[in-house]
Amino acid sequence: MMSVEDRYKTDAAFHSLVDYMVSMIERCRFTPTEIREAAMLAAIISDRRNIRPRRCMGCDAVITDVGLYYVTVMGHDYCSQCVTPAGLSR
């Protein structure tokens, strides 16, 4: 994997983005912490807008189907057919 410094040297778009962020810091418009927080919020907003169907790790059903809800167990989504009040049924 390429380091951010190498990417800065080789990727023109990334280079421009970093230079713009540095200029915003140097002109005292934002602190480095505010830039970091803004970047994280932008990533969160983008992720929320990029809606992807959830798939059940147990049966591979699309969880957005009518009648199915999902439960996240240890970072994995399971549909209501695979999860009981006692835990995973499969």
- In the Cβ-directed half-sphere of 74, how many Cα atoms lie within 13 Å? 3
90 and 74, same domain (yes or no): yes
10 and 36, same domain (yes or no): yes
pLDDT of residue 67: 58
9 and 43, same domain (yes or no): yes
CA-CA distance, 12 to 89, in Å (whole number)?
A: 51
For the full predicted model, state whether its pTM sits above 0.75.
no
Q: Which domain holds residue 45?
A: 4-49
77 and 43, same domain (yes or no): no
19 and 40, same domain (yes or no): yes
66 and 80, same domain (yes or no): yes
Predicted confidence (pLDDT) per residue in 39-85, tens digit:
999 888 887 776 666 777 777 777 665 556 666 666 677 777 777 65
CA-CA distance, 49 to 70, in Å (whole number)?
A: 19
Predicted confidence (pLDDT) per residue in 9-46, tens digit:
999 999 999 999 999 999 988 999 999 999 999 888 88
43 and 58, same domain (yes or no): no
Q: What share of the chain is helix, strand, coil (3-state, %, to 5)?
A: 45, 15, 40
Strand partners, 18: none
Q: What domain count does the chain have?
A: 2
**pLDDT above 80 for 88:** no
For residue 86, what pLDDT band results from cuts at 50, 70 and 90?
low
φ, ψ for residue 46, nearest 5 deg: -60, -40
